[in-house]
């Protein structure tokens, strides 16, 4: 008895080529957050002065629970940023492309703030409902500043890699190093905003400017690793790689 013919490889490739621009970024973000979720929970504990969470089965499960939150927030943000950049660049000269990237990051950071309030609340072991109910304009402002730095760090990894390739050669490890460095540097640049957001969500006062740096090292490492994983997964999902 003959069954239905299996889809040909060319049919699958055509379907994925059409879907990849919309799905690859959310999928890459969802996959990249799983192994580094624990690092972000550590930084949140350091920012609020709480004890470091234990690394156990529950902590590993929370990484998978973060996947849909990160996929929805980060993936949608990156797609929206690219769309806004295209509109702004069409009205600007090439020399103004950096300002277009900066403006789009700030605008998208504000529009995606509810998703990021939920995601950061997850690192604090807060439910989505509780995170949204306790949201404030201060948190929106903090997210806008933080995500401007974060999105720029990810979107700048490719040109940084290109410059490093010119100097050191076209190798995969160069791209990996560039992604980690840009992610870590972006994290450090926006860390004060992240501490402001985290402490506001937990109602913890910031007693001095020095407190804004708490958790910066572990967050920089976690964000750098996230950037590497994000780029790797997205390259794997790129139809051009097949």
Six-digit token string for 61: 């499960």
Its pTM stands at 0.82
pLDDT computed for residue 212 by the predictor? 94
The pLDDT of 163-179, averaged and rounded, is 77
pLDDT computed for residue 148 by the predictor? 77
Six-digit token string for 41: 């929970």
Read off the pLDDT band of 224 (50, 70, 90).
Answer: very high
pLDDT computed for residue 146 by the predictor? 86
Query: CA dist 139 to 26, 28, 111, 116, 172, Å?
Result: 23, 26, 12, 10, 38
pLDDT computed for residue 98 by the predictor? 61
Cβ-contact 55, 63 below 8 angstroms:
no
Six-digit token string for 239: 């139809």
pLDDT computed for residue 153 by the predictor? 64
Q: Where are the domains of the chain?
A: 20-241
Six-digit token string for 86: 């295209």
Closest CA to 70 of 113, 119, 35: 119
pLDDT computed for residue 179 by the predictor? 82
Residue with tokens 């060319």: 10
Which of these ranges, 18-32, 86-100, 179-193, 222-236, has the smallest mean pLDDT? 86-100
Give tens-digit pLDDT for 188-209. 989 999 999 999 999 999 988 8
**Rounded percentage of the chain residues whose pLDDT exceeds 70:** 79
Q: What is the mean pLDDT of the chain?
A: 83
Six-digit token string for 188: 């450090």
Give tens-digit pLDDT for 22-81. 788 889 999 999 999 999 999 999 999 999 999 999 999 999 999 999 988 877 777 777
Cβ-contact 197, 120 below 8 angstroms:
yes
Which of these ranges, 80-84, 88-92, 114-118, has the smallest mean pLDDT? 88-92
Three-state SS string over the chain comes to: CCCCCCCCHHHHHHHHHHHHHHHHHHHHHHHHHHHHHHHHHHHHHHHHCCCCCCCCHHHHHHHHHHHHHHHHHHHHHHHHHHHHHHHHHCCCCHHHHHHHHHHHHHHHHHHCHHHHHHHHHHHCCCCHHHHHHCCCHHHHHHHHHHHHHHHHHHHCHHHHHHHHHHHHCCCHHHHHHHHHHHHHHHHHHCHHHHHHHHHHHCCCCCCCHHHHHCCHHHHHHHHHHHHHHHHHHHHHHCHHHC
CATH number of this structure's domain 20-241: 1.50.40.10
């Amino acid at each position: 008895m003959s069954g239905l013919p299996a889809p040909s490889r060319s049919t699958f490739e055509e379907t994925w080529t059409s879907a990849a621009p919309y799905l690859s970024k959310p999928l890459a973000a969802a996959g990249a957050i799983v192994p580094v979720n624990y690092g972000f929970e550590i930084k949140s504990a350091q920012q609020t002065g709480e004890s470091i969470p234990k690394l156990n089965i529950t902590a590993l499960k929370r990484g998978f629970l973060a996947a849909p939150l990160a996929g929805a927030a980060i993936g949608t943000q990156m797609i929206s940023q690219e769309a806004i950049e295209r509109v702004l660049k069409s009205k600007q000269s090439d020399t103004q492309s950096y300002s277009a990237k900066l403006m789009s990051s700030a605008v998208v950071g504000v529009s995606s703030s509810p998703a990021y309030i939920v995601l950061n609340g997850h690192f604090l072991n807060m439910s989505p409902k509780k995170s949204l109910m306790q949201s404030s304009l201060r948190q929106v402002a903090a997210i806008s500043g933080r995500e401007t730095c974060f999105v720029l760090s990810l979107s700048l990894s490719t040109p940084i890699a290109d410059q490093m390739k010119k100097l050191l050669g076209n190798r995969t490890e160069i791209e990996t190093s560039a992604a980690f460095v840009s992610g870590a540097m972006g994290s450090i640049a926006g860390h004060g905003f992240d501490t402001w957001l985290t402490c506001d969500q937990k109602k913890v006062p910031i007693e001095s400017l020095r407190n804004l740096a708490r958790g910066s090292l572990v967050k920089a490492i976690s964000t750098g690793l996230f950037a590497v994983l994000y780029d790797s997964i997205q390259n794997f999902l790129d139809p051009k790689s097949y």
